[in-house]
Amino acid sequence: MAEPQRPLQDRAAIVTGGGYGIGKEIALAMGRAGANVALAARSAEKLEAVAEQLRALGTRPSVFALDVREEDAVRVMVARTLEAHGRIDVLINNSGIAGPTALARDITGAQWNETIQVNLTGAFYCAKHAGAAMIAARRGAIVNVSSNAGRIGFPLRTPYAASKWGMIGLSHSLAAELGPYGIRVNALLPGAVQGERFDSVVAARARSIGKPFQQLMGERMGAVPLRRLVTEREVAEAALFLASDAATGITGQAFSVDGGDRMQ
């Protein structure tokens, strides 16, 4: 009996921030589904390690060491992905930074600008250029990785929360613009995700407000109905669903993967 075709077989996907964490898991999920993944991030070494795993899955990955804040670099990445695969079917805008943990009055303009530029402006550049290729093909799916912080207030993380609210607005607006060309755009909102990044965020908050790390972690768990952190793999599977033909009727939506977490 023939092996069933994988849902993204021979399609081309760009995953930014694909070297570690959620981005790495999304890239591997795309690879397991048969996609040829273009990995983008500032660290080429981490991307190469993920690319090796993708090759082992029988796909043809490519690596782009770039800063998504630089539009020319994004334009080149999109052009080279088209040259290599003749198409761009999926864009996962995952690149992002945590930004400062401080009261808004203590945050510098440089800290604000860096967070907005990496988390939001970079996503705009990628959607602008990959979207143009999708318009020409009259097909495609864009998934913007926002955050639960894009729906609730987030004291001490104002630049991050503002950038993630912006990702939802970007998604809704692009969905309206690109829908007539058969292109779907959705936002994915992870909550508290198990891993080093979340631990570092909680640790920074603990230092800022003078509470023990374990106390804050316990408060977080108490606010999640599932009583656990979601995993990077669970977020990746949701991204794969939104990128696949299983979600062809879904656009302009903001999907939370957070265990029901609504803690501010």
Measured CA distances, 226 to 109, 147, 220, 222 (Å) = 38, 18, 11, 9
Residue 222 DSSP label: H
Q: Name residues whose C-beta falls within 8 Å of residue 4's C-beta, 6 or more positions apart in sequence.
A: none
Residue 30 DSSP label: H
Long-range contact set of residues 47-56: C-beta below 8 Å, sequence gap at least 24: 47/18, 47/19, 49/19, 50/18, 50/19, 50/24, 53/28, 54/27, 54/28
β-sheet bridge partners, residue 41: 65
Q: Pick the catalytic residue from 20, 125, 160, 181.
A: 160
Q: E-strand spans in the chain?
A: 12-16, 36-41, 62-65, 90-93, 140-145, 183-190, 254-257
Cα distance between residue 228 and residue 214, in whole Å: 14
Give just the sign of the alpha carbon dihedral 9, 13, 18, 22. Answer: negative
Q: Is 181 a catalytic residue?
A: no
Give me the count of residues in the chain. Answer: 264
The three-state secondary structure class of 68 is: coil
Cα distance between residue 90 and residue 185, in whole Å: 10
Q: Which two tokens stand for residue 138?
A: 């009259």
The catalytic site residues sit at 160
